[in-house]
Amino acid sequence: MRIGLVGAGKIGQLRARSVIEDPSTTLAAVFDLSADLARQAAARSGAKVCSSLEELLGVPLDAVIVSTPVHVHLDACLQAFGRGLHVLCEKPVANSVADTQRIVDAARTAKKALAVGFNLRYYPAIRYIRETIAAGSIGTVDHFRIFGGHDGLGSFTHDWEYKTPLTGGGAMWDIGIHMTDLARHFLGEITEVYGVMSGNVWRVPGSEDNAIAVFRNPQGIAASYQATWDEWKGYGFSIEAYGDKGMVRGAYAPMQNLLITHQNPRGPRTRKLLRYPEIAVREKIFSWKSTALLSFKDELRDFVGLTEGKRDVVIADGYAGLRAVEVAAAVKSSTETGLAVRLENLGRMTP
Ligand SMILES: NC(=O)c1ccc[n+]([C@@H]2O[C@H](COP(=O)([O-])OP(=O)(O)OC[C@H]3O[C@@H](n4cnc5c(N)ncnc54)[C@H](O)[C@@H]3O)[C@@H](O)[C@H]2O)c1
């Protein structure tokens, strides 16, 4: 698969490496407003360094990875679908429901795959939750508890990362968009949303500091949810699934799992803690980027599979990207009205 990369910043450099190091993909072209960053991403790959999106789209390609700031996704995605290419777009897909819908519609019209960079699905702690639930180890799932946060504006390098309307919103559009996707990943779908946003700390107009919500799936299973920029303990996320035979927790950073099981709720419990020391050591030397890179490699393999029509893939499709943005908008609307918001069951998006 010949891939063009649009946006070669912090994430784009890792995306470039994932493409270069995958034997089934070739980095064919790179475009970034910074020629230096484009050259750096293309280094030793033979990729053409382009000075415009048009020039990149003129190179023979099968797919494009979009890792520009969020407000640039729309144009890059629409143009790529217009040329009949598959797209892997960084999260969030766009900064509004309407623009995300336009990108989804363009993918459907082009009959090409749209995938979204919800790479946390590939983190070992998240995989472990998926496998534990599938194996029946915690029995019938009753509910989920989902949290993601960091300490807010000090964690950002650029204005576009936190200022509405460029971003779409605050914590829910940043780390929270990953958590919303993981909620849907485990619930299957989110069809009901009640939430309350607040913004008494950073006071960025239109960008919430904090969102607390309840999501429900079509079967009535609930997830409690919090996305926040007021997590003074620093960056971290956790997902907990509770069933009639126990619970499983996945968390990062550091990567950890906890599994507690019992045969009946009054009986004795067994406890297993997984600490992933090899990841801790690797991150000490090569930083969190080494973990992100591994997840991007897994995601890329799934992206190639998705374009080939494979259905047993973990990758987030365009509907996952759309629902994550719709949920963020629903929590805002719920905050304003005090009412729950109902959403249709989107299911799976097929190219
Ligand atoms: N999956 C994840 O875990 C994760 C983590 C962080 C960021 N992101 C997402 O990745 C994307 C990029 O974030 P980043 O942290 O790499 O930002 P960044 O600022 O480091 O990189 C963005 C790059 O895009 C380039 N750019 C800007 N406008 C452009 C345009 N019109 N055409 C071409 N290039 C352009 C910039 O020059 C810059 O090099 C965003 O969508 C962000 O939300 C994802």
Domain boundaries, the chain: 2-119, 121-287+317-342
Q: Which CATH superfamily is domain 121-287+317-342 in?
A: Dihydrodipicolinate Reductase; domain 2 (3.30.360.10)
Across the range 276-287, mean pLDDT stands at: 97
Atom of ligand 1 nearest to the CA of 174: 43
Measured by CA distance, the residue closest to atom 21 of ligand 1 is 9
Across the range 187-201, mean pLDDT stands at: 97
Site to probe by mutation for ligand 1, drawn from 5, 6, 10, 18 as the one with most ligand atoms within 8 Å of Cβ, is 10
| C-alpha distances out from residue 139 to 99, 108, 246, 250, Å | 40, 38, 7, 17
Fold of the domain spanning 2-119: Rossmann fold (3.40.50)
CA 232 to ligand 1 center in whole angstroms: 25
Residues 6 or more apart whose Cβ sits within 8 Å of residue 46: 26, 27
Task: Tell me the HSE value of 91 on the side-chain side, using a 13 A CA sphere.
Answer: 29
Atom of ligand 1 nearest to the CA of 119: 1
Atom of ligand 1 nearest to the CA of 117: 1
Write out pLDDT tens, residues 108-157: 999 999 999 999 999 999 999 999 999 999 999 999 999 999 999 988 99
DSSP state of 209: S
Q: Is the pTM of this model over 0.85?
A: yes
Site to probe by mutation for ligand 1, drawn from 68, 91, 155, 162 as the one with most ligand atoms within 8 Å of Cβ, is 68
